[in-house]
Amino acid sequence: MAVTETVQIDRERVLELIQREGGRLDERTQGSKATYERARRHLTGGVASSYQLRDPWPIYLERGEGPKVWDVDGNEMWDFHNGFGSMVQGHAHPAIGRAVSGRYPLGTHFAAPTEDAIVVGDELARRWGLPKWRYTNSGSEATMDAIRIARAHTGRETIMKIFGSYHGHHDGVMVSIGVEYDKIGDRDNLASLPYGAGIPEAIVELTVAVPFNDAEAMERRIERLDREGRKPACVIMEAAMMNLGVVLPEPGYLEAVRDITRRHGIVLIFDEVKTGLCIAAGGATERFGVTPDMVTLAKALGGGLPAGAIGGTEDAMRTVEDGSVYQVGTYNGNPLTMAAARANLVEVMTPEAYTKLDALNERILAGCTRVIEEHKLPGYAVGVGSKGCVTFSPAKIVDYESFKANQDKDLAELAWLYNMNRGIFMTPGREEEWTLSVTHTEEAVDRYVEVFAEMARDLTA
């Protein structure tokens, strides 16, 4: 937890270091600069997804192997970004490579089911304790379809989410994320605000957000919505928030949410696109011991290929089984992706893999905590499974409100620059976390801590 007595951070020093480190990074990434000039001619903004944008130019990568990546300038880095947490297996894992190259000569797409899809479904059912599964090609498709299934199941249209949580890029969930602190509104009546342009107001109004870690506020809002004739079909949430750094559920919170949703006949969806396969074999569901009605997976499922999945109880998935909901997609269960997912689940993300990830994460968290304590920095290290971060905040972050009020953006930016200039490829953006891979070593996590210590020394010298 945050150290009680902290140093006064010299803001001028922070800005000076940001400038120095930014200049260094520019110098070291001239190849990326040149690539950007070429890319932006026909690739909008020079990137394939807006989350890859960065000023003054994105860092273009060339290759990855195990725990490392190389950019187009030849800079070699330990990868703590890992494709927004998709590559928990490490890059170019031989088992996944064998599965993909074994599948290729047999044909890569039929839009008909193959055996691998069955094996993957069996394994997911075992891990999550949910009997029925379907596939998608991304996390956004998984959450979009899960919400549709919940709406069909309950015959209701309103959905409830956690304020500040990201669940993908479809209209219904691009609501009440990443907005200015003063626009959030009253805690008991948080605003429904579109995240970016192009989202119809009619859709925004159907999505209602509540604060994380506050089950009572959730229940009060549900009761009010019920009185207004707008009871939600589902609560879609991450069991541990993964886009404000890492925000863990407070003791008893998930159990209370499970109880509330059950009592009110609301479908509980754990969006495990980030947590699934990364924090335990059975994701947050296993780690925190609370089973929802449905889960959504993607990212780490496909071992680097685009895969998503929806799991549910017999009851929750009944509308798909009886044909009233069309859960469809040409590439759903694509044979190449399923071959990769099978190898990923059966050969790579084994019980030993999770033991290793837990131990490495403990080591990096302990190392970062030591640095924080030694230098009396305003912050704390927090994590679970393969994921973690240093949150620069004098107070504990429990929800979006406390994040916006307390997180020190400049320190987060500075930490990113220090990492990038010292061989640590880290997720851009101050709201992300590291993801370790099974190929990471003690040397890799010790390097992360060393770089953090160097920043702490420079800041407090």
Q: How far is the CB of 227 from ligand PLP (least distance, A)?
A: 30
Q: How far is the CB of 84 from ligand PLP (least distance, A)?
A: 6
Residue among 379, 385, 380, 391 nearest 440 (CA):
385
Question: Which CB atom, from 156 or from 299, has the smaller least distance to ligand PLP?
Answer: 299
Question: Which CB atom, from 143 or from 369, has the smaller least distance to ligand PLP?
Answer: 143
What are the E-state strand segments in 30-173?
Answer: 61-65, 68-71, 76-79, 132-136, 159-162
The tokens for 307 are: 């895969």
Q: Which residue has 């207004």 as its token pair? A: 228
Question: Which CB atom, from 145 or from 271, has the smaller least distance to ligand PLP?
Answer: 271
Q: How far is the CB of 368 from ligand PLP (least distance, A)?
A: 22
Question: Which CB atom, from 214 or from 272, has the smaller least distance to ligand PLP?
Answer: 272
- Per DSSP, the residues of 263-310 read HTT-EEEEE-TTTTTTSSTTHHHHHHT---SEEEE-GGGGTTS--EEE
Q: How far is the CB of 238 from ligand PLP (least distance, A)?
A: 5
The tokens for 117 are: 């899809």
- Length of the chain, in residues: 461
Residue 142: exposed, middle, or buried by beta-carbon count in 10 A (0-12, 13-18, 19+)? buried
Residue nearest to ligand PLP (CB): 139
Question: Residues interacting with ligand PLP, by CB under 6 A?
Answer: 84, 138-140, 143, 166-168, 238, 242, 271, 273-274, 298
Question: Which CB atom, from 123 or from 238, has the smaller least distance to ligand PLP?
Answer: 238
Q: How far is the CB of 199 from ligand PLP (least distance, A)?
A: 16
Q: Which residue has 């549910």 as its token pair? A: 312
Q: How far is the CB of 93 from ligand PLP (least distance, A)?
A: 20
Q: What's the CA gap between 73 and 56, in Å, rounded? A: 16
Cα dihedral value 13, 363, 270, 433, nearest 10: 20
Sign of CA dihedral 246, 251, 252, 255: positive
Which CA distances in Å does 105 have to 58, 99, 115, 208, 336?
35, 11, 16, 48, 10
Q: How far is the CB of 94 from ligand PLP (least distance, A)?
A: 25
Q: What's the CA gap between 83 and 188, in Å, rounded? A: 35
Q: What's the CA gap between 171 and 243, in Å, rounded? A: 18
The neighbouring-strand residues paired with 267 are 234
Question: Which CB atom, from 84 or from 452, has the smaller least distance to ligand PLP?
Answer: 84
Q: What's the CA gap between 293 and 384, in Å, rounded? A: 23
Q: How far is the CB of 321 from ligand PLP (least distance, A)?
A: 24
Question: Which CB atom, from 411 or from 426, has the smaller least distance to ligand PLP?
Answer: 426
Tell me which H or E stretch contains 127: helix 115-128
Question: Which CB atom, from 114 or from 143, has the smaller least distance to ligand PLP?
Answer: 143
Question: Which CB atom, from 21 or from 238, has the smaller least distance to ligand PLP?
Answer: 238
Q: How far is the CB of 193 from ligand PLP (least distance, A)?
A: 18
